[in-house]
A and B are shown apart, each in its own frame.
Chain A
Amino acid sequence: MRLSPDQMIFWQHGFLKLNGTIVFTWGLMLALAVGSKLITRKLSTGMKRSRWQNLLEIVVTGIERQIEDVGLRHPENYIGFLGTLFLFVALAALCTVIPGFEPPTGSLSTTAALALSVFVAVPLFGIEEQGLWSYLKSYAEPTVIMLPFNIISELSRTLALAVRLFGNMMSGVMIIGILLTITPFLFPIVMTVLGLLTGMVQAYIFSILAAVYIAAAAHTHKPKPEPAPET
């Protein structure tokens, strides 16, 4: 039973292996980059715009609003990183409907790489906002005794990000695979729908958690208060 797309070998030469993870990751990257390039070739600022531009605008403004809700004051600084995380994981989950496609996030190497990039990005954004000394001092808050615990919590939440995404994606693929051998045709379709739902939720969770960690490191002001109810 195949545990991850790492074991689908497309091409091998010595110890260089082109496995399913690499092929599908590059396929997703191509789809995202080429698709966006094609859509943004002729942007229009008037009321008449193509439906693809409309779709991209919905996506981008939606992500911007979510980043602002989390408490990051200038979402345009962060939307490159956080938006890419969300779009990559979401597209990987959505493309499971294509037969023969295995989501590259179902391999621990991909999710570990994404979690490591968050692990590196959080101090980078924190130092950019606060300065090096002020950011390093934040590890010793509230007291210096908490320094090892803060460091351990940084490492453990990176690990949790990786394993959470990997576990959700792998379990979706595996459930469908097992069900296909037991009751083909109807039940696996239901489970595929469930897998789509959890895939989108996990994409959202991954990027929102990354945004929350960056907001905690950047110590920006409190998120905008909810509008007062109409009395």
Chain B
Amino acid sequence: MDSMTIIAVASIVTAGLTIAMGSIGPALGEGRAVATALSSLAQQPDAAATITRTLFVGLAMIESIAIYCFVVSMILIFANPFWNHVIAGAAQAAGK
């Protein structure tokens, strides 16, 4: 396998693995957060505004971990510097 193939395979596989494994943790964390928020809402319904706001802020912070993984995955697929470098090298070699 030449280096172009290796780079392509590594990028594709890593992109898939990144987003797959990176969404497990945040999903579990968000589930636990919402479950705890629901039980505290049941215990104290008049604090609903504070609980809901805090829940949303917490969910956004947990979600950002998944977003980081998604951004890395997108970079690997669409804006991959190694792939661009190798493609530029191949185009130059073909043009010579």
Footprint of B on A, CB under 8 Å? 1, 3, 66, 69, 160, 163-164, 166-168, 170-171, 174, 201-202, 204-205, 208-209, 212, 226-227, 229
Contacts and interface: CB of A to CB of B under 8 A. Distances in A.
B46 A163 contact: no
> Lowest 7 A-B CB distances belong to which pairs?
A167-B67, A205-B60, A164-B64, A229-B46, A167-B71, A226-B47, A3-B78
Given A69-B50, A170-B74, A163 B57 contact: no
A122 to B, nearest CB: 17
Given A3-B78, A160-B64, A202-B60, A226 B70 contact: no
Contact of A209 (B50, B57, B68, B78): B57
Contact of A69 (B46, B49, B60, B64): B49
B87 to A, nearest CB: 15
Interface string B31-72: 000000000000000110110010011001101100110110
Chief secondary structure at chain A's binding surface: helix
Contact of B74 (A160, A174, A212, A226): A174
B74 A208 contact: no
Nearest to A230: B46
30 contacts: A3-B74, A66-B53, A69-B49, A69-B50, A69-B53, A160-B61, A160-B64, A163-B68, A164-B60, A164-B63, A164-B67, A167-B64, A167-B71, A168-B67, A170-B74, A171-B67, A171-B70, A171-B74, A174-B74, A201-B56, A204-B56, A205-B60, A208-B53, A208-B56, A209-B57, A212-B57, A226-B46, A226-B50, A227-B46, A229-B46
B44 to A, nearest CB: 8
Contacts of B78: 1, 3
B20 interface: no
B21 interface: no
B67 A205 contact: no
A205 B71 contact: no
Nearest to B50: A226
B79 interface: yes
A62 B68 CA distance: 31
A168 B67 CA distance: 7
A184 to B, nearest CB: 21
Contacts of A208: 53, 56-57
B13 to A, nearest CB: 20
A163 B74 contact: no
B64 A163 contact: yes
Contacts of A205: 56-57, 60
Nearest to A160: B64
A163 B56 contact: no
